[in-house]
Amino acid sequence: MTTVKTEKWQNFLPSYLNFVVLFEFILLVDLDYFHK
Query: How confident is the model over 5-20, as pLDDT tens digits?
Result: 777 777 777 888 889 9
Average pLDDT, whole number, for the chain?
A: 81
Q: With the CA atoms of 20, 26, 29 and 35 taken in that order, what torsion angle do they form, in degrees rounded to the nearest 10? A: -100
Q: What are phi and psi of 22, to 5 degrees?
A: -60, -45
Query: In the chain, what are the domain boundaries?
Result: 1-36
Alpha-carbon gap, residue 29 to 36, rounded angstroms: 11
pLDDT higher for 3 or 26? 26
Predicted local confidence at residue 31, as pLDDT: 80
The predicted model scores a pTM of 0.46
| pLDDT higher than threshold 90 for residue 23 | yes
| pLDDT higher than threshold 90 for residue 24 | yes
